Amino acid sequence: MKRTRRFGSWAIGSAIIATILAAGAGMASADTTGSSTAGTNGISSSGAGSEAGGQSPMGSDVLGQTVATPSVIDVSNTYPTIGERVTYSASGLVPKQTYRVLWEAFQGTWDVDGNTFVGESYTPFVKVLGTVTADANGEVHGVLRVPTGYGDIHQIGLADASGIVAAQGSVTVKPSFTISRTRESEGGFFTIRVQGIGYGAYSSAYEVLYDNHLMGNIAAVTTNGTAVFQVRAEGIGSHLIEIAPCSIGSPYLNEQQSPYSWKPTFSIPVTVTKGHPVDVKDSIPAPSISTGNHLIASPGHGIVGSTFTLTGQGLPANESLTLEWSNTVGNHVTAAGYHSAQTVLGHVTTSSTGTFTVKIPVPVNVGGPPHTVEAVDPAGTIVGTTTYQIYPSLVSAPKVVKAGQVFTIHLQGGGPDTYDNCYSVLYDNSSIGYACGFNTNGDMQIQIRATGGPGIHYIDLYPTIQQGNQKVPNLYVLPLLTYKLDHPGEAQPAFHLVIDVQS
């Protein structure tokens, strides 16, 4: 039975463990060695992790079936980072017995249910890091390198050839970061990589600040605990980027007094130099063909206002057909709710060989998941289908505005789902709000007031999550800065704009 951790609850089984242990002998023996090295932070031991940051009792089945009284694995560093070497030891084992070194790992997913964001979930599995052999006294002394993966508590164990765990311990993996460079010209981007983001409700999200202004969230749910994101170089001079723990929608400023006091806050001084800032817009995927049943859309995706060629083949001859696609209309916040609908794209008549070719302009409709394109005969029978996907696009934005002026940034192609229907807005690297286009067929006309004095200012529009079932961590309506690699639902671009505020 599959065992999934969904922030605090376990459904426990062991089939996956047995499978991995059976294959373990061929896995990554170089990740651990049988030689001793000097410890760095003293010697301690601990058991399997729990959501509250405490310890599970020895003898649990996290790594598999155990002996009646497992030995304790002592580790030199209880709080290592990814890639760090940890010295471990255990006694009371069978002399000259070879053991597999086990590591509790996780696979993360974003869970959605139709239009609704459900939350994050993490499925544990066992990774075999290598082998170690007990000496004549039944003791082992080895070194393991913390593998790339999620932070938080990980149980480690020593299993014999039959898969029985003879010794257990744990480490708590802390996040660490690197930055591409600490000097960047204005309008450019600092690229930051954080490893070891956790799998727990109170360890899986961090927030980013720029000179004490809240920018947004970072996550690493589907990227194995590694978050890669960018921060706009805004304002010539010295600045401070901070990455702080969060759980309920705001940075936690006294984490050192929390049950998760091991979680760090990173402070990164940076310098912004004179440059020539320009607009930067993410590109959508390269054109590709969408082939369905008797219908082909070329390309199979695009933006509102573009065109695509729809080709029909193998259809009834000399037949009048209505071309339409599925759509979702409504909203998530009123009693009226939302419902599916059909948008008519046009009408065609097939040839004597049952074919047609027509160019279709992409109407103002929601983006998100692909639309199902249908060819319908006069009797209402669907005789052909394919898909076409709309990506969000920037329609217009001013380049020059007056101080105090309210101006409009126009987007189209917002989705219908609570995880793709909104964009969150930064003004000079400070979060100012969000916009939703579901109620207006994916159209967003975002109202912003020009502030900050005359000169160059920056507006960044990021994908976000509007709402959902998950309570902790709260990732809602703030920019999800890791959107490129880790975001529920369909891929969405970000838009980075420059405006000149004049007096």
pLDDT value of residue 251: 96
Among the ranges given (333-337, 408-412, 464-468, 495-499), the one the predictor scored with the smallest mean pLDDT: 333-337
Q: Residue 312: beta bridge partners?
A: 295, 356
- How many alpha carbons lie under 13 Å from residue 375 in its C-beta half-sphere? 28
CA torsion sign for 92, 94, 99, 102 is: negative
Above 90 in pLDDT, residue 3?
Answer: no
Q: Residue 455: beta bridge partners?
A: 501
Q: What is the dihedral of CA 133, 137, 138, 144, to 10 degrees?
A: -50
Residue 319 CA, chain-centre distance (Å), reads 47
Instruction: Confirm if 347 and 324 have CB atoms less than 8 A apart.
Output: no
* 357-412 pLDDT per residue, tens: 999 999 999 999 999 999 999 999 999 999 999 999 999 999 999 999 999 999 99
Element (H, E) at 300: none
Q: Residue 411: beta bridge partners?
A: 394, 444
The identity of residue 464, as a single letter, is: T
Mean of all residue pLDDT scores within the chain: 89
pLDDT value of residue 207: 98
Both structure tokens of 240: 């401070």
Both structure tokens of 189: 């981007």
Among the ranges given (19-28, 194-203, 265-274, 439-448), the one the predictor scored with the smallest mean pLDDT: 19-28
For residues 275-285, average pLDDT: 96
pTM of the model: 0.87
pLDDT value of residue 56: 36
Q: How far apart are CA 489 and CA 109, in angstroms?
A: 11
For residues 283-307, average pLDDT: 97
Report the relative pairing of strands 66-72 and 165-173 from DSSP bridges: parallel
pLDDT value of residue 20: 37
* 224-248 pLDDT per residue, tens: 999 999 999 999 999 999 999 999 9
The percentage of residues in the chain with a pLDDT greater than 90, rounded to a whole number, is: 86
Instruction: Count the Cβ atoms, other than its own, within 10 Å of residue 100.
Output: 25
Q: How far apart are CA 392 and CA 258, in angstroms?
A: 40
